[in-house]
Chain A
Amino acid sequence: MSGATKRRWRDVPLAVAMLGPSLVVLIAFVLYPLGRAVWLGQQRCNVQATKCRSVGWGQYTDVLMSNEFQSAVWVTVKFALITVPVGLALGVGLAVLADKHMRHIGFFRTVFSSTVATSVAVASLMWLFLLQPSVGVLANIGWLNDIFPVIKEPGLLNDKGTALSSVAISSIWANLGFTFIIITAGLQGIPRELQESAFVDGAGGWRRFTNVTLPLLGPTLLFTTVVLTSRAFQAYGEIDLLTNGGPVPQQSTTTVTYLIYGSSSIIKSNEGLKAAVAVLLFVILLGLSALQFRGLGKRVHYGS
């Protein structure tokens, strides 16, 4: 054995020991299930999912063309179109508002960051208690109900026109702490001299914001957009706790993830269809991240 070959193989036992554990977990719980889901997606199973037989790859097309799937995709897209821009705008607004050396600013920063400590279950239950029509806070404030009767009857979470937006508001609130912290960190990374030279050049507050701050915030905004979008597409807990995918029969808040896992999902006892929807969700998310990095990546200024 030549020296070079020997060196090439010398580390192998150690490499096996170091990579082995990670590889086993990643293959068993990420790659295998992905492959298995693709296979299961063309099968039909009995209710206990003990017996499955192949019914052909056409099942994917069937799912894709089904009203249930298309409606879930549409609901998910609407949910993202509400939560991402509003969440981002609020995050930027709060961060800019609190990015000043003033008295008590530390207190406001703590408040604006606070929702980062809430899990999806904690945040959703807080909002459930606000929005619920019988025991909820808003329903027990008299004058508010006179203006917006929908709060009491049928309830913001039970009305097909307001259910999705209500879930979205709770979701925006829950993510706001995260968005605020990230954007504040981004703002602090912008060199003060740039702001100041723009100030000396006579640029007003708004001009400074659009011409200096916003472009230099590009990478941070891109990152936040990507995270918020993927969170919107994977939203599950808030829907499970607030609306259970309803109100029925329109399924106004059944997102794609809820369609797969929800306890009142229409396909809850059909493993094959669930797998097919999961695989299609994977494809959608892949396409989405490719799109975001291409489209937004071009317009992002990676400052020094």
Chain B
Amino acid sequence: MALDSTPKGWRSGVRYALLIVMAVIILFPIYTTIIASLKPGNRVLRNPLVPDSFTLDVLGDAWTQGRLGRYLWNSAVVAVLVTAFQLITSIASAYAFSFLRFPLKRFFFAIFMATLLVPFEVTLLINRRTVDSLGWLNTYQGLAVPFLATAFGTFLLRQVFMQIPKDLNEAASMDGLGHWGFMREVAVPLVRPTLGALGLFSFLASWNQYLWPTMITTEDDMNTIQSGLRLLRSSDLDKPNLIMAGTIIAAVPILVVLVVFQRQLVRGLTAGAVKG
């Protein structure tokens, strides 16, 4: 590798210097947050950059007073529900569009694709009324139902299904495998990597939702971690270290998810190509 053979010493020195400067800048907000969350309240404004005292009490207080355990649980329930349903509904509809014959197929597919052009910000206003009239404010249904299906997932999986030769499907039906058997034995195993990426993308998108939970949650018990952080910010600005501790607690679960699913990450992020 000609390019990577040791560059001249000073060049790699400059590169390291730049890398370190950028790393310091990027880590700075995270560093100050961690420092603040480990300091007792009366010390937080003094020497904000130096870890001159240490306590875990603030993290504990944020957990109990901020009710972050409850919020994290709500976020997890909603994100798991949304991810599971998005995967199931996407597989089902992608399969139907790829292997079934039925009238108006193109029309229905066009409907699915049209929904990709509509951003959440345009529909949430009306969706709040719908959820309200169903009596679903402050419920898991209310938080999850509008996002249980995704044309984007359908589109993504259909693209993989379309690569399966039609003959294979016909041969399977002759063997008496049927659609259910073909789906289980052939189609789903084939899209497994795509499902991983789609699953991670759906989970992150649902977990990170901010606007929707703040719109339909009025009871404290039903806040997600994102709307819960908003609550913490508005009630406790006089205790900045408490907010920072809450922020750290809120960030940890997703960090764990990303480390565990590292392999799906890049595909999961690029998967958003269509939805943006």
Contact = CB atoms under 8 A, between A and B. Distances in A.
B270 A185 contact: yes
Interface string B195-233: 000000000000110110011000000000110011001
B122 A281 contact: yes
Interface string B33-57: 1001000000011101100000000
A119 B254 contact: yes
Interface stretch (A26-34, A59-67, A78-86, A246-254): A26-34
Interface stretch (A7-15, A145-153, A160-168): A7-15
B226 A121 contact: yes
Interface in A1-56: 7-12, 14-15, 17-19, 21-34, 36-37, 40, 49
A98 B19 contact: yes
B255 interface: yes
A230 interface: yes
B106 to A, nearest CB: 13
Given A21-B92, A130-B29, A173-B26, A30 B115 contact: yes
Interface stretch (B159-167, B185-193, B239-247): B239-247
Question: In the complex, which range does the number of interface residues on chain B fall in?
Answer: 35 or more
Given A119-B210, A185-B270, A278 B18 contact: no
Interface in A104-140: 108, 111-112, 114-123, 125-130, 132, 135-137, 140
B168 interface: no
A122 B102 contact: no
B96 A135 contact: no
A279 interface: yes
B4 interface: yes
A125 B125 contact: no
B19 A25 contact: no
A282 B115 CA distance: 12
A18 B122 contact: no
Contact of B126 (A33, A120, A122, A192): A33
B96 A125 contact: no
A274 B125 contact: yes
A24 to B, nearest CB: 8
How extensive is the interface on chain A, given as a class?
Answer: 35 or more
Contact of A241 (B26, B27, B29, B233): B233
Given A22-B93, A29-B145, A137-B49, A230 B254 contact: no
B256 to A, nearest CB: 9
A190 to B, nearest CB: 11
A223 interface: yes
Contacts of A27: 111
A92 interface: no
Interface in B89-143: 89-90, 92-93, 95-97, 100-103, 108, 111-112, 114-115, 117-127, 129-130
B3 to A, nearest CB: 6
B123 A34 contact: yes
A176 interface: yes
A23 B119 contact: no
Interface string B136-157: 0000000001111101001000
B32 interface: yes
Nearest to A93: B22
Contacts of B122: 33-34, 37, 278-279, 281-282
Contacts of A128: 233, 243
Given A126-B33, A173-B29, 4 more contacts: A14-B96, A108-B19, A119-B251, A181-B266
30 contacts: A8-B101, A9-B103, A14-B179, A17-B92, A18-B93, A18-B95, A23-B93, A25-B148, A31-B114, A31-B118, A33-B122, A34-B126, A37-B125, A37-B126, A97-B19, A100-B4, A108-B19, A112-B26, A117-B254, A117-B255, A126-B247, A135-B240, A181-B265, A227-B272, A230-B119, A234-B119, A234-B120, A237-B210, A237-B226, A240-B214
List 4 A-B pairs, minimum CB-CB distance, nearest first.
Answer: A33-B126, A25-B149, A33-B123, A22-B149
